[in-house]
Amino acid sequence: MTQAPSTPKPRPERDAPDLSEGWGEQRSRLRRDLRRLDVLFFLICTLVGLDTIGSVAAQGPQGLTWMAILALVFFLPYGLLVAELGSAFPVQGGPYVWTRLAFGRLTAGVNQLLYWISNPVWVGGSLCIIALTTWEEFFTPLPGAWKYAAGLAFIWGGALAVVQSVRIGKWVPIAGAVARIVLLGFFLVSVAVYAARHGVHALPAGDFAPTYAGFVALVPVLIFNYVGFELPSSAAEEMKNPRRDIPLSILRSGLAALVLYGGPILGILFVLPGERIGSLGGFIDACKAVFTVYGGSIAADGTVTLTGAGAVFGGIAAAGLIVGLLTSGVTWAMGAHRAQAVACADGAGPAWLGHISEKHGTPVRVNLLSAVLASLLFVVALNLTGGDGEKYFAAGLGLTICTTFISYVITFPSLAVLRRKYPSVPRPYSVPGGRLGVRLVSGLATVFVAFTVVVLIWPGFGVGWFGTAGSAADSLPESFAGQRLQYTLSQVLPLALFVGIGLAFYAAGGRTRREKG
């Protein structure tokens, strides 16, 4: 990133998009309470998701290899891309505004619907199921109706946090970031103690060698771990100085995310035998195993029993993990919901969803609708999978990533388009290399998310082709083994429904567009 000689004043009105009169009224209710440190914690909470650590570790040491490779060819270009867009167009709504300026309101509206709706899918899907699994592993079983009650409490507890004013709500990502740092740091210390007492599993150098089959299996969760830089831009007009704070926070949070992901994954590989690392319970199982150094034992069949201080530390870590999961959903919601409210107030959705609460300064109606959708998805999915947590987790996480990344396929190219359409807009931070640099950065980021969508809909795409090793069938989630059609339908049918909802939302915004003229 290159810094301009001088920093322009934040959000000059001439840089703002031509939004509807309705949004102009709502804008006055926003409150500028986000400082640079708040944005940094916001991004750490966004980037360091605890629900995918087990999925990466389940692929063995090559997961770390691909993590390093994708940090260079995706994470870095993506960070540069958002740093320029976020500082050049620091307007409330972030990704929606960039896409609208580049491709028009219809494309941006449907795209934003996909971006927003992935949040209730995620909260009611993989986040909820991991939180429930963690509770049952460390505290008490949740039979029958208790599982539904606990899941709905998790969802609506998050919704209550999202509706609060930014002055209060910003403490949720701060708490989430601190919980991550403490939990993952304590886990790594415990791994070191465990290693000193019991030794660790050897990791042969050959296991770090990257394979195409491993790449296809890992690319969805690894890239999902690396996204979220754009979320603070959705609240740009609630920041003290977005032109300065967004790029700096991207750099710092990106470095923190690499450390906070890589260390725990390596720790899991050292502690657990490869055959015992599961996508859903990998991190949970590793925590239980290492905490036996404080009290407890591991049976010959791998069953872990925690006692004394081990049980106490296990309970504290479990609570920290649940808090981390909840704050992940809340932080993403704080960004995605604000962008959706801007889209609706701008005529790309029902006007009533674009309302900003005078009391809280937040889009309360979008927040509550998201909680309702997450609740419905949780109840329906739990019934369709017959309570099978692994199947529920695989389908929910896949759909979340797929929906989010389809929206990125449209948003990321807006960098090149806006550099061409608005060359005179002040860019405090810009992608180096001129037009070639912009095309390279935008192209790399777009290609990787587009490829991810393909392998999510059809796991194992390309495996076994042109002499590559492996079988495409082995790339299916274990809970969907031999059920490719069922898995693909679990992704494609909801995606088609979401696009239909996006078009319906756009139609519902017709009156706003007509009034605007």
Rounded-to-integer distance, Cα 335 and Cα 231, Å = 5
* Cβ neighbour number for residue 396 with a 10 Å cutoff: 26
- Is the CB of residue 73 less than 8 Å from the CB of residue 444? yes
Q: What is the end-to-end Cα distance of the chain in Å, rounded? A: 39
Q: Residue 149: inside a domain, yes or no?
A: yes
Q: What was the pLDDT predicted at 16? A: 43
pLDDT of the residue at 278: 54
Residue 236, in any domain of the structure: yes
Residue 241, domain member (yes or no): yes
Whether the CB-CB separation of 486 and 502 falls below 8 Å is answered with no
Quick one: pLDDT at residue 33?
73
Contact 61, 262 (CB under 8 A): no
Beta-bridge partners for 296: 306
Per-residue pLDDT of the chain (517 residues; tens, 9 = 90+): 444 444 444 444 344 445 544 566 667 677 777 787 888 888 888 887 776 677 777 777 888 888 889 889 998 999 999 999 998 888 888 899 999 999 999 999 999 999 999 999 888 887 888 888 888 888 888 888 888 899 999 999 989 888 887 788 888 888 888 888 888 888 888 888 888 887 777 778 787 888 888 788 888 888 888 888 898 888 878 888 877 778 888 888 888 888 887 778 887 787 766 555 555 556 777 788 888 888 888 777 777 888 888 889 888 888 888 888 888 889 889 889 999 999 998 889 998 998 888 887 888 999 999 999 999 988 887 776 555 556 666 777 788 888 999 999 999 999 999 999 888 888 888 899 888 999 999 999 999 999 999 988 887 777 667 666 667 666 677 777 777 888 888 888 889 999 999 999 999 988 887 876 5
Q: Is residue 129 part of a domain?
A: yes
Number of domains into which the chain is organized = 1
| Residue 339 in tokens | 């962008």
Two tokens, residue 246: 């967004």
Measure the CA–CA gap between 410 and 407, rounded to whole angstroms. 6
CA distance 331 to 329: 6
Instruction: Answer yes or no: are the C-beta atoms of 420 and 387 closer than 8 Å.
Output: no
**CB–CB of 338/363 below 8 Å?**
yes
In a domain, 247, yes or no: yes
Residue 124: give the domain boundaries: 42-516
In a domain? residue 109? yes
What integer pLDDT is reported at residue 14 of this predicted model? 44
In a domain, 337, yes or no: yes
pTM: 0.84
Burial code of 38-62, b = ≥16 C-beta within 10 A, e = fewer?
bbbbbbbbbbbbbbbbbbbbbbbbb
State the CATH number of the domain containing residue 316.
1.20.1740.10
| CA 60 – CA 203 distance, rounded (Å) | 9
* 258 assigned to some structural domain: yes
